[in-house]
Amino acid sequence: MPQKFDNSFKLNETQLEQLKQIIPEAFKDGFVDIGALSDALSDYSGDDVLDEDEHLFGLYWPGKKAARKMAQTKPKGSLVPVPGDGVDEDTTRNIYIEGDNLEVLKLLQKSYAGKIKMIYIDPPYNTGSDFIYDDNFTETVEEFQKRIGIVNAEGVKQTTNNKADGRFHSKWLSMMYPRLRLARDLLSDDGVIFISIDDNEVAQLRKICDEIFGDENFRNSIFTRRYDKNINRQFIEEGLSTMNTGLEYILMYSKDANAKFNPVFRKSSEERANTGYWKGFWNDANRPTMRYDILGFTPESGQWKWGKELAFEAVNNYIEYTNKHSSMSIEEYWASTGKNKKFIRRKEISKGKNSGVEHWIPPSEGILRNTNWSDLLASKPIEVDIPFNSPKNSNVIIELIKLSDADNVDVILDFFSGSATTAHSVMQLNAEDGGNRQFIMVQLKEEVTQKSFKEAFDFLSKEKKPLNICEIGKERIRRAGKKIREQIKSSSPQLDIGFKVFRLSQSNFKPVEPYTGSDIKELPDWFSGDPLIEGWKPENLLTEVMLKEGFPLDSKIITLDMHKKNKIYEVSHEFCGHSLVICLDPNIDNETISKLDLGESNIFICLDSAITDQAKARLDDKKGRLVTI
Q: What Cα–Cα distance (Å) separates residue 360 from each residue in 194, 229, 345?
A: 35, 42, 8
CB atoms within 10 A of CB 141: 23
Write the single-letter amino acid at 308.
K
Interval 364-389 mean pLDDT: 88
Return the bridge partners of 627, or none: 3, 605
**Would you say residue 526 has pLDDT above 60?**
no
> How is 224-292 classified by DSSP, letter by letter?
EEPP---GGGGGTTT--SSPPP-EEEEEEEESSTT------EEEPPHHHHH--EEEE-EE----GGG--
Percent pLDDT > 70 in the chain is 84
Interval 432-447 mean pLDDT: 93
The Cα 342–Cα 328 span in angstroms is 16
Any residues with CB less than 8 A from the CB of 53 and at least 6 apart, and which? none
Listed ranges 130-139, 147-156, 418-427, 513-522; the one with the highest mean pLDDT: 418-427
pLDDT, tens digit, for every residue of 108-143?
999 999 999 999 999 987 655 545 555 543 344 455
Return the bridge partners of 366, or none: 267
Length in residues, the chain = 629
pLDDT given for residue 147 in this prediction = 40
CB-based burial of residue 94 (10 Å sphere; 0-12 exposed, 13-18 middle, 19+ buried)?
A: buried
- Return the higher-pLDDT residue of 45 and 486: 486
Interval 530-543 mean pLDDT: 94
Domain boundaries, the chain: 3-42, 64-229+243-264+370-506, 270-361, 531-628
**276-306 burial, b if ≥16 CB within 10 A, otherwise e?**
beeeebbeeeeeeebbeebbeeebeebbbbb
pLDDT given for residue 149 in this prediction = 45
Any residues with CB less than 8 A from the CB of 296 and at least 6 apart, and which? 346
- Return the higher-pLDDT residue of 616 and 571: 571
pLDDT given for residue 137 in this prediction = 38
Nearest to 418 by CA among 463, 464, 456: 456
**Would you say residue 443 has pLDDT above 50?**
yes
DSSP-derived 3-state class of residue 450: coil
Asked whether 225 and 378 are in contact (CB, 8 A), the reply is yes
**Would you say residue 168 has pLDDT above 70?**
no
Percent pLDDT > 90 in the chain is 54
pLDDT given for residue 514 in this prediction = 64
Asked whether 610 and 585 are in contact (CB, 8 A), the reply is yes
pLDDT, tens digit, for every residue of 465-511?
889 999 999 999 999 999 998 887 655 557 999 999 999 999 999 88
pLDDT, tens digit, for every residue of 294-344?
999 999 999 999 999 999 999 999 999 999 999 999 999 999 999 999 999
pLDDT, tens digit, for every residue of 180-209?
999 999 999 999 999 999 888 899 999 999
pLDDT, tens digit, for every residue of 224-246?
998 766 666 666 777 777 777 78
The Cα 462–Cα 464 span in angstroms is 5
Helices (DSSP H) in 6-52: which residue ranges?
13-22, 34-42
Average model confidence (pLDDT) for the chain?
Answer: 85
The fold adopted by the segment(s) 64-229+243-264+370-506 is Rossmann fold (3.40.50)
Indicate the pLDDT class of residue 521, thresholds 50, 70 and 90. Answer: low
